[in-house]
Amino acid sequence: MTQPLTPAARRSRALLLWFLVIAFVAIPIIEIWLLVTVGGWIGLWPTLGLLVISGLVGAWLTRREGTRAWQALVDAFGGGRLPTGRLADAALVLIGGLMLMLPGFFSDILGLIMLLPFTRPLVRRLLAFVLARNQARTPSGRIVIKGETVTAPSSSPTTPVVIRGEVEDGS
């Protein structure tokens, strides 16, 4: 049985819904505006050429960076480590590659930011921050970010976890 949503969780879901609606309306408008603007500056055929080249570069970068991200996942699992950052990298590479293959310059810019190895950690940290901030408002508890790892320490923010034991000096 699911628990009823708190008012804060309802507000959070409503905000997410409005954000998605605005994004689905605004992004195509931005894409069309950029295509028309760039087409006006350089002409129809060069604009179409840029779109084809960006799709090909997106496919190539996705394959290259996707292979690297997959190898990092395999190495992490082989070494017995949790690949939290590597999983996020793999997801960002996939999303970034798909965005580069979509026709449009705005999606190309966002896709490049997600694909390039030196900008991907910034996106990963931003995503972890947004997820942690959103999770902190839900009834399931708060999120603690340690490096690249995001963990939930307790199931209820009001019930502390008490571990009884003794402290021994190891020296």
Q: Which domain holds residue 71?
A: 15-151
Residue 4 resides in a domain? no
Per residue in 20-63, pLDDT (tens digit) is 899 889 989 999 999 999 999 999 999 999 989 988 888 888 88
Question: Which structure tokens are listed for 87?
Answer: 């999983």
Residue 96 resides in a domain? yes
Query: For residue 65, which amino acid is it?
Result: E
Per residue in 128-159, pLDDT (tens digit) is 787 776 655 444 444 444 443 444 444 445 56
Q: Say whether pLDDT at 5 is over 80.
A: no
Residue 56 resides in a domain? yes
| Count of positions (residues) in the chain | 171
Q: How far apart are CA 132 and CA 85, in angstroms?
A: 15
Residue 2 resides in a domain? no
Residue 85 resides in a domain? yes
- Percent of the chain with pLDDT strictly greater than 70: 73
Residue 160 resides in a domain? no
On average, the pLDDT of the chain sits at: 77
Domain tally, the chain: 1
Residue 164 resides in a domain? no
